[in-house]
Structure 1
Amino acid sequence: MVQKYQSPVRVYKHPFELVMAAYERRFPTCHLIPMFVASDVVNEETSEDGSTIRVERRCALDVDAPRLLKRIAGVDYVYFIQKNTLNRKERTLHIESHNETFSNRVIIHETCCYSVHPENEDWTCFEQSASLDIKSFFGFESTVEKIAMKQYASSIKKGKEIIEFYLRELEDDGITHMPRWSPFSCSLSIPSILFSSLTDKLDADYIKRYLGDLTPLQESCLIRLRKWLQETHKGKIPKDEHILRFLRARDFNMDKAREILCQSLTWRKQHQVDYLLETWSSPQVLQDYYTGGWHHHDRDGRPLYILRLGQMDTKGLVRALGEESLLRHVLSINEEGLRRCEENTKVFGRPISCWTCLVDLEGLNMRHLWRPGVKALLRIIEVVEANYPETLGRLLILRAPRVFPVLWTLVSPFIDENTRKKFLIYAGNDYQGPGGLVDYIDKEIIPDFLGGECMCEVPEGGLVPKSMYRTPEELENEDVRLWTETIYQSASIFKGAPHELLIEIIDASSVITWDFDVCKGDVVFNIYHSKRAPQPPRKDPLGTHGITSPGGNNVQLIDKSWTLGQDYSMVESPLTCKEGESVQGSHITRWPGFYILQWKFYNMPACSATNLPRVDDVLATLQVSSHKCKVMYYTEVLGSEDFSSKDFLLSRFAQSSNTSYSSTIIVLPDKTIKIPFLLRSSVQKP
């Protein structure tokens, strides 16, 4: 006889997407269900548009049955097959389960459904039903039926408590909202040293190869934090290795790790740190007098960096370069360290996420305790600790002199406790004996100045000539320039005085790409095309263009006598951009000629009825300082030869849609190129 069971409809006063996030936390095991021993994903499929996900799991249950019955049946666990179909577009989850164990004697079939409440779209309904058909079970049919009824009743009662438990856990993690699915919410990210493709799945081989040993809890924290970044962070998502560093730095506390990681991502964007290795060139004084450099690797395969701090003229470097230049140099060292770790991971076939630093203090004396130099050192430590956690695997301090405790007292409070545990300090020549340097570095690569046979190319340093010192005013200007001199240009925009950029296109089907941040005010972004080149702006204040440059970095190209539709045409719909937004996009050119990118002051609709004459408008612009916007922008043109017809159609489709996109990667036979589609995100203002 077939027994059928139907649970009452349960209602969660939470949106469907949040309930799904809580439901996913039940896997692969759930401590709230002791009988739920394990689960393995045996198959997973995702539709082309990402709206439908099908997952098949094999679950092991430790059924609460008498020992005698288990012995007769010859099993310890009962295995079930569970098939989930998540339709993110329709906002439904259908679950079907059936038993794999004893399927020829007992047939258990269960169906569950999560769906949106018919009267409140911010609530979620849950329905559950099951059937039990016992054909034969060694004469224990009645006992098995009672056990099945007991287990099912228990699961019905426990189910709601479990979801509510994980909903509270999400709230404790700071997750109170999950975005709804949209057709283009599963875009690809831009790969680089720190950034990789978005994937929710971590298999055992990948973890072992690239991340190392992780407990289930640590793996869960990594997946949850990465998933949160994918759904909330507007921009590039760091690689798992980088996210893991921040989790380890905060002992896998999700809230703390998320906070410092987001702060670091904002900092990287503001100061263009992702481009540092490409744009930073060390001044000659650093090349000659900075006593540090990379030197092979340690016994664990970690990149080895050597710093002869005792030979460095810290006062001379600070006086010749300034704090910011030294900081930039140290950041470039850290970026290079990340790159070398990635290379060594491939070379040694195991995860290498940090490096070893060897600091030789021979020659350290009181001149190194010069107050401005110590101040610069403390600031460098602060920035590195905040943005490169868990990148230092070991710090070997050799030949520490008597003055070292004074320096240590000054800097140690600024060093994270976990980092301090990685310090090994040797006084005098103690590093040469047992437990010394040879325990961490192969004898063949110990530098010659430490008694080894390997020639080390690290500069010997010496005193920086005073003729190279700069005045305080020069140092201040240099420090400002270093943090603003990037691949991005800045422009001021005034009411009545837009900023315009001219791009000449020779071949049709070329791609103009742009990336700009609205630092102040609101702007309207336009793209125009003209068959003839605009005349260069006149420098007289009332020349061809009426006005030229209320600010030194404002350029106007479109002549006031030009008529839209005759002399030039608009090729993209105007885009209104608010203060603090970051906008990336691309345009595939249909014709050769001259394209003008324009950033224009955004007039509030309430003010649109006021039509001042052009001269009055100009005077108002010059007199009212609040009528000023500022943008930082970067543009690039990709040639038509880089694209196939398929890529062209893909890009055109992205342009014609009103939906936000992130970048996509197109791989050609001999190169990989990036096409950034329209993407809008909030960023912290510089």
Structure 2
Amino acid sequence: MVQKYQSPVRVYKHPFELVMAAYERRFPTCHLIPMFVASDVVDEETSEDGATHKIERRCALDVDAPRLLKRIAGVDYVYFIQRNTLNRKERTLHIESHNETFSNRVIIHETCCYSVHPDNEDWTCFEQTASLDIKSFFGFESTVEKIAMKQYASSIKKGKEIIEFYLKELEDEGITHVPRWSPSALPQLLPRPSSLSASAPALPKPAAAPAASVPPTPLMEDERQPEFELCVADKLDADYIKRYLGDLTPLQESCLIRLRQWLQETHKGKIPKDEHILRFLRARDFNMDRAREILCQSLTWRKQHQVDYLLETWTSPQVLQDFYTGGWHHHDRDGRPLYILRLGQMDTKGLVRALGEESLLRHVLSINEEGLRRCEENTKVFGRPISCWTCLVDLEGLNMRHLWRPGVKALLRIIEVVEANYPETLGRLLILRAPRVFPVLWTLVSPFIDENTRKKFLIYAGNDYQGPGGLLDYIDKEIIPDFLGGECMCEVPEGGLVPKSMYRTAEELENEDVRLWTETIYQSASIFKGAPHEIIDASSVITWDFDVCKGDVVFNIYHSKRAPQPPRKDPLGTHGIASPGGNNVQLIDKSWTLGQDYSMVESPLTCKEGESVQGSHITRWPGFYILQWKFHSMPACSATNLPRVDDVLATLQVSSHKCKVMYYTEVLGSEDFSCCSFSFHSFFTAALFLHPPS
């Protein structure tokens, strides 16, 4: 498996020319990097005007690998080739490095770039990417990979210290300015590095190296941790991460940046906030594949139920305002928003009978959305990353009536949805005054709570919370609520029994639940072979927004002057089996010929599973416009050639009998669309033709 690394943008608040002067002092050796034994200039070239300087070095590293591994490998030093291209006119330095030693067993490739900050020409940006692919290494592939990634992360942190050391050294020497290149300037602006023999084995061994290296570790010549506090050109920079997201290891930073880039590519700019992405990565221990899967599922869920607009659209019913015993109350000692829930005083049966399960869920979701908003506010107020909140649950009054089966079912449903869509938002859960019945409730609920979340629970029985290690360790005395022995008035409702006059029938509650979760502008459709789904409406501008939930599809837009004729409803499918896509209606006749009966008006767009796509089309001719989704079919293999492995794998991925999209289309009149200054009379149909490859 190829290991990849992508750095954030690291910004030095120094001019490019001064940073280059500091960078060159690292060669031919650097006492700050004991493992960097020597470097020899292999090739060097300067343009006639002196603007471009290219240099190739062969560098030797004294790797700090286990003696047994060195003996098996038969080497004491690892060699890398580094090619630098300095463009003084454009003020950029591009660096490429790859390993020469063990190149048939291990492939290491690293690219780095120094450039001028886009918003401040007196600052210098640095970025790097790297990949590590261990094909074979004497049976020690897994060990070498782990040591290599650990050492690489260590070298990334060391890079910032080195460049800052030499900048300070220049300052001590009185060098605080290096003139920029100009056509009249001398070709060589920076001191030319001296050359050392690359015959590394003949060199004396350096002093003990810090947390050192392993064969597949690239050179540490690329400084990795400059400082800045804003996003640079829609990229994350190091100080922004530290200020708003927290201290992350280099590999954790890389996971965040790569997942963010993937979302930008697949979701067409509609990506969640960095804090939200980071929560899903933390929930899956920074396993990118697992985090991406649950994040995409959550984004689809949020879009389908318009959760992003919940705080603006959801108004709690009066019964919740009066009888739901929960509310926000200042913040804890760490600056986290504090939510108090007096569960023991809550009439869970009454709330479920009066509101229904889904209304309670919608209310809890609004609490979580409000918690996210408060975390953002507290991050700004306290000047440090605050990504989660603290919940204080008072169980005084909890008894067997709280174990009413429908109430427990509603609670488990809420836990399931919150765990799936709000991971790592709970920083600490303080459970106070737990009665004897609590173990029964905990036995029912705990299996549905993530293990990492359970570790954040602190449970106190009786009045133990008032002693050492209790509530005062987490909450300031001044804000402890009055009902817990404090002096702070708390506005959380005291609850009480919900009047039975507010209870609703099972049918009324079922209708309310359906209404709540169908109030969405998005529609979902499962498309089976031979069962397309189509809609038709009048328009002059067609807009669409769809997510590919399962499988890969090709999206097309067609125009036809002929009116599609929907077939008569057939209760049975083409094979005498009830059609699984009963809501699908096919409007395009299979006898139609492309180019005669209908024509393509947009280039086909291939969309991968998990992608989110938005767009619009201005209708130019009267008639019918067809939006079509179909299975992405692989090209047929030649009969005389064996199929490539990639083709076989891709075919297996789309060989399911159906795929699924979630779509929203809107028809706008020309007067409602700013780019349309004249009106057309036309119609469009949206058709989902998803046929598996033949």
TM-score range, shorter chain: 0.5 to 0.7
Query: 1:255: Cα distance to partner?
Result: 3.8
| Deviating more after overlay: 17-26 vs 483-492 | 17-26
After TM superposition, the structure 1 stretch with the greater mean CA deviation from structure 2, 92-101 or 19-28, is 19-28
Greater shift, 487-496 or 377-386, is seen at 487-496
Cα separation, partners in 2 of 1:643 and 1:218, compared to 1, 3 Å: same
Change (3 A) 1:546 1:375: closer
The Cα shift of 1:160 comes to 27
CA spacing shift, 1:587–1:179, aligned 2, 3 Å: farther
| Inter-partner Cα distance in structure 1 for 2:430 and 2:401 | 22
Partner of residue 154, structure 1: 154
Change (3 A) 1:391 1:109: closer
Greater Cα offset, 231-240 or 365-374: 231-240
Q: Aligned residues, how many?
A: 646
**Shift of residue 470 of structure 1?**
2.1
| Whole-angstrom distance in 2 between the partners of 1:616 and 1:59 | 37
Deviates most, 302-311 or 617-626: 617-626
Larger mean CA deviation between 557-566 and 482-491 belongs to: 557-566
Contact 2:267–2:613 (8 Å) recurs in 1: no
Q: 1:641 to 1:52 in 2, by over 3 A?
A: farther
Q: How far is 1:358 from its partner?
A: 0.8
What residue is the counterpart of 1:204 in the other structure?
Answer: 238
Kindly tell me: are residues 539 and 547 of structure 1, through their superposed partners in 2, closer, same or farther at Cα, counting changes over 3 Å?
Answer: farther
CA deviation digits over 1:169-219, x for unaligned, max 9? 999999999999999x999999999xxxx9785433112201211222322
Of residues 466, 474, 482 in structure 2, which corresponds to 1:440?
A: 474
Pick closer, same or farther for the CA change 1:26–1:608 going to 2, 3 Å: same
Distance in 2 of aligned mates of 1:13 and 1:641: 50
Post-superposition offset of 1:443: 2.3
Is the Cα–Cα contact under 8 Å of residues 50 and 186 in structure 1 kept in the other structure?
A: no
Q: Structure 1 residue 442: deviation in Å?
A: 2.1
CA contact (8 A) 2:76 2:201 kept: no
Residues 207, 44 of structure 1: CA spacing in aligned structure 2 closer, same or farther, 3 A cutoff?
Answer: farther
Report how far residue 313 of structure 1 moved. 0.8
The structural deviation recorded for 1:220 is: 3.0
In 2, are the aligned partners of 1:174 and 1:255 still within 8 Å (CA)? Answer: no
More off after superposition, 56-65 vs 558-567: 558-567
- Runs of at least 5 residues in structure 2 that lack an aligned partner in the other structure: 184-194, 204-231, 676-683
Q: Distance in 1 between matches of 2:539 and 2:164?
A: 54
Deviations 1:570-609 (A, max 9, x none): 9989999999986521357999999999999999999999
Q: Using a 3 Å threshold, how does the CA distance of structure 1 residues 270 and 601 change in structure 2: closer, same or farther?
A: same
Which whole-Å deviations, capped at 9, do the CAs of 1:498-557 have from their partners, x for residues lacking one? Answer: 99xxxx999999987543569999999999999999999999999999999999999999
> Contact between 2:56 and 2:83, CA under 8 Å: does it hold in 1?
yes
Secondary structure of 2:537's partner?
coil
Structure 1 Cα separation of the partners of residues 387 and 167 of structure 2: 33
- State which drifts further: 515-524 or 394-403: 515-524
Q: Is the 8 A contact 1:64 1:147 kept in 2?
A: no
Structure 1 residue 276 displacement after superposition? 2.4
Query: Bigger shift: 309-318 or 70-79?
Result: 70-79
Taking a change above 3 Å as real, the CA distance of residues 140 and 436 of structure 1, as seen in their structure-2 partners, is: closer
In the superposition, relative to structure 1, how do residues 62 and 488 fare at CA in structure 2: closer, same or farther (>3 Å)?
Answer: same
- Is residue 495–residue 601 contact of structure 1 (8 Å, CA) maintained in 2? no
Identify the residue that residue 91 of structure 1 maps to in structure 2: 91
Judge which range, 329-338 or 571-580, deviates more: 571-580
- The normalised TM-score by structure 1 is 0.52
5+ unaligned residues in a row in structure 1: which ranges?
646-676
Higher mean displacement: 65-74 or 346-355: 65-74
Question: Residues 545 and 558 of structure 1 are in contact (CA less than 8 Å); yes or no, is this contact kept in structure 2?
Answer: no
Q: 1:230 to 1:566 in 2, by over 3 A?
A: closer
Could you state the TM-score of these two structures normalised by the residue count of structure 2? 0.52
Q: Deviations over 1:310-339 (max 9, x none)?
A: 111111111222222211221221121111
420-429 vs 101-110, which moves further: 101-110
Give the 3 Å change call, closer, same or farther, for CA 626–318 of structure 1 in structure 2.
same
Q: Work out the CA distance in 2 between the residues paired with 1:399 and 1:479.
A: 34
- State the 1:421 CA deviation: 1.7
Match of 2:196 in 1: 186
Tell me the alpha carbon deviations over residues 393-419 of structure 1, each in whole angstroms, 9 at most, x when there is no partner.
Answer: 111111211211211122122222221
Cα distance change on mapping 1:248 and 1:33 into 2, 3 Å? farther
Query: How far, CA to CA, are the matches of 2:142 and 2:564 in structure 1?
Result: 91
Show CA shifts across 1:414-469 (max 9, x none): 22222122112222222233332222222222222223232222222111122222
Q: CA 1:257–1:451 in structure 2 vs 1: closer, same or farther (change >3 Å)?
A: same
Q: Aligned equivalents of 1:614 and 1:129: distance in 2?
A: 29
Question: CA offset at residue 284 of structure 1?
Answer: 2.3
- After superposition, the Cα gap between the structure-2 partners of 1:590 and 1:164, relative to the gap in structure 1 and judged at 3 Å, is farther
Over the aligned positions, Cα root-mean-square deviation in angstroms equals 17.6
1:224 CA drift (Å): 3.6
* Aligned partner of 1:574 among 604, 610, 619: 604
Work out the CA distance in 1 between the residues paired with 2:561 and 2:583.
Answer: 26
Question: CA distance change for structure 1 residues 172 and 311 in 2, over 3 Å: closer, same or farther?
Answer: farther
Given that 2:38 and 2:198 are in contact with CA atoms closer than 8 Å, whether structure 1 keeps it comes out as no
Q: Do the aligned residues in 2 keep the contact of 1:506 with 1:593 (CA within 8 Å)?
A: no
Residue 268 of structure 1, CA deviation: 2.6
SS in 2 for 1:238: coil
Pick closer, same or farther for the CA change 1:230–1:199 going to 2, 3 Å. Answer: farther
Counterpart Cα distance in 2 of 1:532 and 1:217: 57
Q: Is 1:250 the equivalent of 2:284? A: yes
> d(CA) in 1 for partners of 2:146 and 2:580?
86
CA contact (8 A) 1:507 1:592 kept: no
Whether the 8 Å CA contact 2:51–2:89 is kept in 1: the answer is yes
For residue 242 of structure 1, report the CA deviation from its aligned partner: 2.0
Per-residue deviation, 1:125: 30
CA contact (8 A) 2:551 2:654 kept: no
Q: In 2, are the aligned partners of 1:279 and 1:486 still within 8 Å (CA)?
A: no
Deviation at 1:31?
19
Cα displacement string for residues 459-505 of structure 1 (whole angstroms, at most 9, x for unaligned residues) = 22111122222222222222222221124468999999999xxxx99
Question: How many Å apart are 1:291 and its aligned residue?
Answer: 1.1
Structure 1's 303 and 559: CA in aligned 2 closer, same or farther, altered over 3 A?
A: same
Query: Structure 1 residues 587 and 619 mapped into 2: Cα distance closer, same or farther (>3 Å)?
Result: same
- Structure 1 residue 107 displacement after superposition: 27
Distance change (3 Å), C-alpha of 1:489 and 1:172 = farther
What are the equivalent positions in structure 2 for 1:435-474 lying under 5 Å apart? 435-474=469-508
The answer to whether the 8 Å contact 1:3/1:132 transfers is yes
Distance 2:264 2:46 in 1: 17
Q: Distance in 1 between matches of 2:178 and 2:405?
A: 50
Q: Which residue of 1 is the match for residue 414 of structure 2?
A: 380
Q: Work out the CA distance in 1 between the residues paired with 2:636 and 2:357.
A: 47
Cα distance in 1, alignment partners of residues 465 and 264 from structure 2:
47
Q: Report if aligned partners of 1:42, 1:58 keep a CA contact under 8 Å in 2.
A: yes
Deviations 1:271-306 (A, max 9, x none): 332232233232222222211111221111111111
Secondary structure in structure 1 of the residue aligned to 2:319 = helix
- 2:75 counterpart SS class: coil
Q: Is the 8 A contact 2:304 2:522 kept in 1?
A: no
User: What is the deviation of 1:566?
Assistant: 19
Mapped to 2, the partners of 1:550 and 1:145 lie a distance apart of 48
My pick for the range that moved more, 611-620 or 349-358, is: 611-620
Contact kept in structure 2, 1:313 and 1:464, CA below 8 Å: yes
**Does structure 1 conserve the Cα–Cα contact (< 8 Å) formed by 2:554 and 2:630?**
yes
- For residues 611 and 528 of structure 1, the distance between their equivalents in structure 2, rounded to whole angstroms, comes to 35
Q: Secondary structure at the match of 1:546?
A: coil
SS of structure 1 residue aligned to 2:104: coil
SS, match of residue 300 in structure 2: helix
Shift in Å at residue 387 of structure 1?
1.8
Secondary structure class of the residue paired with 1:534: coil
CA gap 1:507/1:343 in 2 versus in 1, 3 angstroms: farther
Q: Which moved more, 1:439-448 or 1:360-369?
A: 439-448
1:678 aligns with 2:685: yes
CA distance in 2, matches of 1:179, 1:311: 73
Quick check: 2:8–2:237 contact (8 Å CA) kept in 1?
Answer: no
Cα contact 2:63–2:78 (8 A) shared by 1 = yes
Q: How has the CA–CA distance of structure 1 residues 138 and 537 changed in structure 2, closer, same or farther, with 3 Å as cutoff?
A: closer
| Kept after mapping to 2: 8 A contact 1:530/1:594 | yes
